[in-house]
Copies of this chain bind each other. A is one copy, B any other.
Amino acid sequence: MPVLVMKFGGTSVATLDRIKRAAKRVALEVAKGYDVIVIVSAMSGKTNELVGWVNETSPLYDAREYDAVVSSGENVTAGLMALTLQEMDVPARSWQGWQVPVKTTSAHSSARIEEIPSDNIMAKFGEGMKVAVVAGFQGISPEGRITTLGRGGSDTTAVAFAAAFDAERCDIYTDVDGVYTTDPRIAEKARKLDKISFEEMLELASLGAKVLQTRSVELAMRYKVKLRVLSSFEEPSDTAGTLVCDEEEIMESNVVSGIAYSRDEAKMTLQSVEDRPGIAAAIFGPLSNAGINVDMIIQNIAEEGRTDMTFSCPTDQVIRAEKALNDAKAAGELNFSDLIADTNVAKISAVGIGMRSQSGVAAKMFQTLSDEGINIKVIATSEIKISVLVDRKYMELAVQSLHDAFELEKA
């Protein structure tokens, strides 16, 4: 039997009724002849509640315990989904990460999947089971402790299962009906894309368009997994959603395909750092060891042998970043006068494969923001994207004006 992977996000399993609705979609695919692997997230809000408890208990938490706590939400929905399918006479059972086992690295709270043996589940398919419901987002470390894959990790679980089981397709069911040129809640002219390249999706995902987790797109690109994003609240249809695929499959590339934004980025500035060879390593080595995901980096021009170093990182890593840097300072490995965290910023990005062959995109972006009186704090660019940090209060305005400027409402 061909294998299909279906992933349901938190809003798609938020209540028992929604789990039933999702199960009906699964039953439809079973009726078509698929053996289905269903990956479930926790009911929406549950993981946030658990993360909140951990943070309140221990701001500098032991990530192994964090994982043991926050992985529990997916176990609940996996069991409930299996029961719902059984009630529809679809043979199903649930698997928790350690039962498959989903083998990961020991990098707790942001572990990477290393291997998913398929024999256990394939044997059950052989015995007549039609659906394996797997708790997403979680795995087991070589030491036998529970790991999690980072926020949105269930997407990665889904793509990894699709690769491991050579699935025909990986359908990601979420609360939006596809990938948009930007967030429709912010710009009402936002338009749904029928197709988008892996590369663009990767940038959009990493830049805060929360439709898919970055790593899931990376994985899909590497293993050529056909990935479809669609809504669990629309009627089933073969043309629903957005297909994430190879660049070659898209006839005409836009200069800019989408505008992304992120509220969860903080700007951190180390003031009066010694300007000497190796200083970047002295700063970013400890941050890397502490598991901080540094994104943009800016170094000011030095005066009298001192300089300011600015970088951005996720807001929820600020406390860890401060500790890592202050520890390095205390150990004499690093010297700075002040460490200033600014969590009142937002990141805005324009993404498009067409940028590779078309110039003037950055200039148009900066001019548009300038016309609106929006000050740019940090700039970073790559081959197919341009990102800026701005004051958070300008976030919506920046997204709307850029969407207009690049005429993204037009197909």
Chain A contacts to B: CB under 8 angstroms: 16, 19, 50, 53-54, 56-58, 61-62, 64-66, 68-69, 71-73, 75-76, 78-80, 82-84, 86-87, 93-94, 96, 98-99, 144-146
Q: Is A65 a contact partner of B50 (Cβ separation < 8 A)?
A: no
- The minimal Cβ–Cβ distance linking A55 to chain B, given in whole angstroms, is 10
Q: Is B83 a contact partner of A65 (Cβ separation < 8 A)?
A: yes
Name the B residues within 8 Å of A68 (CB-CB): 75, 78-79, 82, 94, 96
Q: Would you call the interface of chain A mostly helix, strand, loop, or mixed?
A: helix
- The minimal Cβ–Cβ distance linking A161 to chain B, given in whole angstroms, is 18
Name the B residues within 8 Å of A84 (CB-CB): 57-58
Q: Which of A56, A72, A86, A87 has the most CB of B within 10 A?
A: A72
- The minimal Cβ–Cβ distance linking A10 to chain B, given in whole angstroms, is 15
Interface residue from B58, B75, B146 paired with A83 (Cβ < 8 Å)? B58
Q: Give me 15 other A-B pairs in contact (C-beta within 8 A), A66-B83, A72-B73 excluded.
A: A19-B57, A54-B83, A58-B83, A61-B83, A65-B79, A65-B80, A65-B82, A65-B86, A65-B93, A65-B94, A69-B75, A69-B79, A71-B75, A96-B146, A99-B145
Name the B residues within 8 Å of A96 (CB-CB): 68, 146
Q: Is B72 a contact partner of A76 (Cβ separation < 8 A)?
A: yes
- In the complex, what distance in Å separates the CA atom of A68 from the CA atom of B134? 12
